[in-house]
Structure 1
């Protein structure tokens, strides 16, 4: 790293990368991660009346299903925060999003109450990684001047999308179809499809993170200056359309 680079703060370097396509992309993905957290935690509440027809749930069991994802998040939030600070933000968010979707797929095939309860707890346990880490990940791609704008934009995306959650549940759950899966002796119905669909944003975000880098600020904090500089050059090139080599901060 050049002497000039050593005298420039990470905030100044981020400011020099500009504000453009890369920033918009990371804001949208962060907003979708938040959408995924909300959907996965609350989506099951929309289908509880219908699940009752298949599993004959008491009010107590309905309450457990409605709360168990939040219990999983509470149990794991400190763990993911620690891992994000020791192994990297993206290294925590990406695998947990993909694993969370796989758990959601299994949830849609749950044969009984206890299987569904355990899987939703595990899903909540994994969901906490995104909710606990995404704001740090997003914020560390922006300088102080732009950070609040980026965080508010991602939060707005998730909040504005929330008004469509009941509509999506109504559109899917009210359908009148079913089919038998003889191998596992299960009747697949619309509420199971809805559980599968609410996890889709998580899968999309998990795959999208293969195209996003680790936080340059985090890399700098663990002594990987060259890797951090390479990411800053990449962001600069995407935002400005100029060559990476012209980024001389």
Structure 2
């Protein structure tokens, strides 16, 4: 095994991950999970909030549909370079610092955007807020997985994914509450102002320890040992002579993820990230418009989205239980398969009852699959390139987030009906289904 030693002793090197095999799940793990869960909630909230308030912004600035679409996509466009850069930073300066700085930057930019005098300024600031959030996006899941015992890693990391529907529901609730209020205390500017306060969560992130994997990879062995003891609440003690190691890879280098066996991993995960994200985001960014083709009002459509978010939560809970029993690949394959089946059924719903039933089943299975993927994806790279590997794949998601709304808008503009449009989107779920068959299982393995 090729490893990078943290210090030189006469003892046999020990991988950091081996100390997580028998480690108990403690209150410290719960606190770390709580802190990172709400960081993910903030990310989801920020990605969804502009969709909810876009109508009010369009009315104030007299925007065209093209400008509205561009404004919605701005945060994702900003996240693309943001994830590349912050991912490399995460491997260089640490997971905790990266998320902390990312949240602080986001809070400042979001605060300024609430006072935007025109469309161009708001667009530029939304672009910058996406860049700022790139650190949260690229580090939350790898960080959490580097803090968890092997046996609980799958289940706990999938639970973390449940922050997405929570963030969506907060965005819906905040919009419904404040858009009805006139003056300074209400409207889209007040919503962005309140959203900016989420940047203060950085001070909570600063209270949790750094990843012991990252510390060992940097040669900070004593600190890594201290964190291992802290996470286990004193039940893990490592002698002063023990040499902690991680896999030998060039720290934070994008070139490493395209070399040797890493190349196949990178190609496969990029396909999954793009196709899976397109299949989800392509549908849900346009679902209010698509539902209006089925005769629902805008108010009914937004209620539909809220109920869909509620249906996602049990999807996460069920997949979390299953992945620790049956592994990542089997559970994700089953969930994506059922998501595709119910997606095609949703496309050809003949009445309102079928529309609701098939969509809730689609939400349940597709988001349950996302929870498994967020976990699985964070485990396939070794420590020193986990940040850049993860960020490269997440950037693929953001490319899909940027392209999907425009492409789906284009086909709708061509006159495609509801069934044809939704079926086209589901093709990307089928691509996801096939690709995951070629990715190695990681359930029960230590991180390297």
What band does the TM-score fall into relative to the shorter chain?
0.7 to 0.9
Q: Alpha-carbon deviation of 1:26?
A: 1.4
Residue 165 of structure 2: aligned partner? 159
Matched, 1:84 2:81: no
Residues 106-133 of structure 1 deviation map (CA, whole Å, 9 limit, x = unaligned): 0111111111111110000011111111
Q: 8 Å contact 2:56–2:187 — kept in the other structure?
A: no
Q: Alpha-carbon deviation of 1:247?
A: 3.9
CA distance in structure 1 between the partners assigned to 2:199 and 2:150 by the alignment:
28
Matches within 5 A, 1:3-152: 8-15=14-21, 17-152=23-158
Residue 196 of structure 2: aligned partner? 199
Q: Alpha-carbon deviation of 1:49?
A: 1.3
Instruction: Give structure 2 stretches of 5+ with no counterpart.
Output: 1-6, 239-448
CA distance in structure 1 between the partners assigned to 2:60 and 2:153 by the alignment:
47
Q: 8 Å contact 2:104–2:200 — kept in the other structure?
A: yes
Structure-2-length-normalised TM-score = 0.48
CA distance in structure 1 between the partners assigned to 2:200 and 2:71 by the alignment:
22
Q: 8 Å contact 1:28–1:157 — kept in the other structure?
A: no
Q: Alpha-carbon deviation of 1:11?
A: 2.4
Between 44-53 and 5-14, report the one with greater CA deviation. 5-14
SS at match of 1:211: coil
Q: 8 Å contact 1:101–1:202 — kept in the other structure?
A: yes
Instruction: Give structure 1 stretches of 5+ with no counterpart.
Output: 180-187, 238-243
Distance 1:113 1:151, change over 3 A: same
Residue from 204, 213, 216 that aligns with 2:212: 216
Distance 1:127 1:5, change over 3 A: farther
Structure with greater contact order relative to length (CA < 8 Å, sep ≥ 6): 1
Residue from 237, 243, 246 that aligns with 1:248: 237
Distance 1:34 1:121, change over 3 A: same
Distance 1:168 1:7, change over 3 A: same
SS at match of 1:64: helix
Residue 185 of structure 1: aligned partner? none
Residue 384 of structure 2: aligned partner? none
Q: Alpha-carbon deviation of 1:17?
A: 4.6
Q: Alpha-carbon deviation of 1:29?
A: 1.9
Residue 190 of structure 1: aligned partner? 187
Residues 59-109 of structure 1 deviation map (CA, whole Å, 9 limit, x = unaligned): 222111111000001122221111111221112111110110110000111
Residue 241 of structure 1: aligned partner? none
Between 102-111 and 160-169, report the one with greater CA deviation. 160-169
Q: 8 Å contact 2:48–2:171 — kept in the other structure?
A: no
Residue 388 of structure 2: aligned partner? none
CA distance in structure 2 between the partners assigned to 1:161 and 1:111 by the alignment:
27
Matched, 1:229 2:225: yes
CA distance in structure 2 between the partners assigned to 1:110 and 1:214 by the alignment:
37
Q: Alpha-carbon deviation of 1:5?
A: 8.7
CA distance in structure 1 between the partners assigned to 2:145 and 2:206 by the alignment:
19
Distance 1:117 1:169, change over 3 A: same
Residues 163-215 of structure 1 deviation map (CA, whole Å, 9 limit, x = unaligned): 34312210111112x14xxxxxxxx74211111223333422x1111211111
Structure-1-length-normalised TM-score = 0.84
Q: Alpha-carbon deviation of 1:4?
A: 11
CA distance in structure 2 between the partners assigned to 1:78 and 1:27 by the alignment:
24
Q: 8 Å contact 1:33–1:202 — kept in the other structure?
A: no
